A and B are shown apart, each in its own frame.
Chain A
Amino acid sequence: EDKVVQSPLSLVVHEGDTVTLNCSYEVTNFRSLLWYKQEKKAPTFLFMLTSSGIEKKSGRLSSILDKKELFSILNITATQTGDSAVYLCAVGYTGTASKLTFGTGTRLQVTL
């Protein structure tokens, strides 16, 4: 059975800290790994990674994929209270079906 495992399950940091969120996967027909941010509503797309070793950046967020070791990390530098959310990792598959398999998420709380 395909698995996507995120760690830690939850994290509390102070504003200004840097955090690293982890996502490991065991799936067949891997195509891509995606990161989403979920506040109390729709998951918001952050990154899609398909190639190993190529960092994607968006402001204070960055992510990288290691297809050999089957994991990805999401880094957030200089955290702000607005970064408080659940961060979801998902895996996409090759083929015509486009379902995603999600991890259970990492709940990040940034305090003042």
Chain B
Amino acid sequence: NAGVMQNPRHLVRRRGQEARLRCSPMKGHSHVYWYRQLPEEGLKFMVYLQKENIIDESGMPKERFSAEFPKEGPSILRIQQVVRGDSAAYFCASSPTAESGNTIYFGEGSWLTVV
């Protein structure tokens, strides 16, 4: 799981700013998932992407949050106009296929703090 690379590891933003979190999946993996972990809570699914496609965004908040996984480059989770409640750990995970995707491998996470 060390192969899933996330950056930045820690990010501090003031309320109203934008946060961009990046994720490079493991080599050979074309399926990316974003999860959010609020303090003292479990991981919550946000979005599942393949290259250039959003497959399932049922866990994404309706406003301010967006995700992409372009043909070239990392997947990006973008949070506009951040609020204090966005402070959380954001984990990216990847898998080689959707079927094997039930066994997904996580990155080290990006810790967002909104001040």
Contacts and interface: CB of A to CB of B under 8 A. Distances in A.
Interface of A: 4, 31-32, 34, 36, 41-45, 48, 88, 90, 92-93, 96-105
13 contacts: A32-B102, A42-B107, A42-B108, A42-B109, A97-B55, A98-B48, A98-B101, A99-B33, A99-B56, A99-B59, A100-B45, A100-B104, A102-B43
Interface residues of B, number: 28
Given A43-B43, A45-B105, A96 B98 contact: yes
Interface of B: 1, 4, 31, 33, 35, 40-45, 48, 55-56, 58-59, 91, 95, 98, 101-109
A65 B36 CA distance: 26
Nearest to B45: A99
* Chain A contact surface mostly: strand
A86 B86 CA distance: 22
Contacts of A98: 31, 33, 48, 95, 98, 101-102, 104
Contacts of B104: 45, 98, 100
Given A97-B48, A98-B31, A103 B42 contact: yes
Nearest to A42: B106
